[in-house]
Structure 1
Amino acid sequence: MTNGHIAAAERDLWPALRRHTQARIGLGRAGSGLPTRHRLELQAAHAAARDAVHSPFRPDLVAEALRGEPTVRVRSAAPDRPTYLQRPDLGRRLDATDRAHLPVGEWDVVFVVADGLSSRAVHEHGAAMVRATTALLPTVWRVAPVVLAEQARVALGDDVASAMGAEMVVVFVGERPGMSAADSLGAYLTYRPEPGVTTDASRNCLSNIRPPSGMAYEVAAGKLAGLMGRARELWATGVGLKDEADAAGPRPVVAG
């Protein structure tokens, strides 16, 4: 096969492969660099990722989208964004003043909407996931006010649940943006968390929630609600709890 035939075959192959991935593959070249169009797209994606990390969290936007649902606002022990990025440990702990003002009750679950590393993801998907998930829970479940957390890491949810007396916590958090997605939301479920003790091995995670390019709200909420029901049966999350919905069909959420 001549070089011309090989080049033609490659041109035919790349469009078919690109339909199955958002990865940048087969971009070609202009001299020793990328073609101008692809270089500009790459720079735009990098700028979007930086903006997602550094843009301020606006809890008022999430609260407005959750109108009708009680909400509480808290901050982590990180006083500002630079400190949050440099000191992950502070993002895992509640501000002492805010912790003291959290409502206490016998809650089955508390939902925490946390900015994490992409406030954009939280602004676009956080409220929708809270609503989609709570709609699938039995009415007997005692759901705490939604906590809107600023400068927060996933483990901040442990501190929130402990302070409020919640049996389990779901943290919806902005995931670290990449070059193909700056608006990806993650959901982390933890049963009976202990601040400073619970590790990631005790959590279940759903990632890449961002329709239409990622996981749809109804799919993510169905998986999450199913996991929550199973967590109550097994008294466990993390390595002790597997998502069996795809293999065995959806399971009913436990009401008791």
Structure 2
Amino acid sequence: MSAPTDTRDPWAKLRAATPARIGLGRAGTGLPTSDNLDFQFAHARARDAVHSALDVSRLEQDLAAFEVIQVTSAAPDRATYLRRPDLGRRLGANEGANLPAQPCDVMFVIADGLSSAAVQTHAAAVIEAASAKLTGFAIGPVVIATQARVAIGDEIGQAIGARLTVLLVGERPGLTVADSLGAYLTYGPAPGVKDSARNCLSNIHAKGGMSYDLAAEKIAWLTRAALRMELTGTGLKEEADPTEIPDASDATQALNTPQT
């Protein structure tokens, strides 16, 4: 009499611990039909996230509690933007005229980046949550930039007169999550700022990523630290002792004290 066959799936425990596609099995020389269709659907969602246009009007409605300004990059259309990353980092001709000087401690910039779906779904909620945790600071207008990449926030922040920009951008979509949002904090925004002078939060989304509340907590913590220390980037570590960072009112008072 033969021994009983163990029919348990040895990959089940590992699949439960990760969204990665592992242990999918096989059907003849290929994948099972359901897994193959799932892969194609995920790929289509990622392509749509990259190529779809941001619904700016709807996003403005979601940000009704804030002053909103809209600008575009130097890329004239989506196809050009995807081929020319450099154009997405600069404002279009005469777009600076739409940015009146409004000196502030911090301002939010929204860039559609490589996933308009991420911005459409998450940006307004993150700004609302973060703003609520930044009481005591002067917060500038929210600027929505289309066909835009991270560095466009430097030109925008300088024109407005912000000491710090928090730029929310649609991250490059993957085959697990197509609507992941990133946040980049830059102290002293100006054209030419290096990426090493920014702090980044990544994977803000609702499918096992960073929650809105946690992202808001981190943005608020980094903002207070950056304005106190007058820097962002490699010199500002999130794991620093939080007792070294004053609360919002103390930080604002320090900003208003002349520096020697």
What TM-score, normalized by structure 2, do the two folds share? 0.90
Name the stretch that deviates more: 142-151 or 100-109: 100-109
Aligned counterparts of 2:244 and 2:228: Cα–Cα separation in 1: 15
Aligned counterparts of 2:166 and 2:35: Cα–Cα separation in 1: 38
Q: Aligned in 2, Cα 1:167/1:115: closer, same or farther, shift over 3 Å? A: same
Q: Deviations over 1:31-70 (max 9, x none)?
A: 1111100000000000000000000111111110111211
Superposition deviation, residue 194 in structure 1: 2.0
1:179 maps to what in 2? 175
1:84 maps to what in 2? 81
2:27 maps to what in 1? 30
Amino acid of the residue matched to residue 75 of structure 2? A
Instruction: Check if 1:43 corresponds to 2:40.
Output: yes
2:146 maps to what in 1? 150
Instruction: Check if 1:213 corresponds to 2:204.
Output: no
2:239 maps to what in 1? 244
Which of 217, 224, 233 is residue 229 of structure 1 equivalent to? 224
SS at match of 2:94: helix
The 5 Å alignment of 1:72-111 reads 72-111=69-108
Aligned counterparts of 2:230 and 2:83: Cα–Cα separation in 1: 35
Aligned counterparts of 1:96 and 1:107: Cα–Cα separation in 2: 25
Aligned counterparts of 1:234 and 1:182: Cα–Cα separation in 2: 35
Q: Deviations over 1:114-134 (max 9, x none)?
A: 110010100100100110100
2:256 maps to what in 1? none
SS at match of 1:96: coil
Q: Percent identity?
A: 51
SS at match of 2:155: helix
Aligned counterparts of 1:169 and 1:248: Cα–Cα separation in 2: 21
Equivalent residues of 1:157, 1:169 under 8 A apart: yes
Amino acid of the residue matched to residue 75 of structure 1? T
Which of 175, 198, 202 is residue 203 of structure 1 equivalent to? 198
2:156 maps to what in 1? 160
Aligned counterparts of 1:249 and 1:84: Cα–Cα separation in 2: 43
Equivalent residues of 2:46, 2:178 under 8 A apart: yes
Aligned counterparts of 2:177 and 2:244: Cα–Cα separation in 1: 29
Amino acid of the residue matched to residue 156 of structure 2? V
Superposition deviation, residue 250 in structure 1: 11
Aligned counterparts of 1:166 and 1:241: Cα–Cα separation in 2: 19
Equivalent residues of 2:52, 2:116 under 8 A apart: yes
Aligned counterparts of 2:33 and 2:180: Cα–Cα separation in 1: 27
Unaligned segments of structure 1, at least 5 residues: none
Q: CA RMSD in A?
A: 2.0
Amino acid of the residue matched to residue 168 of structure 1? L
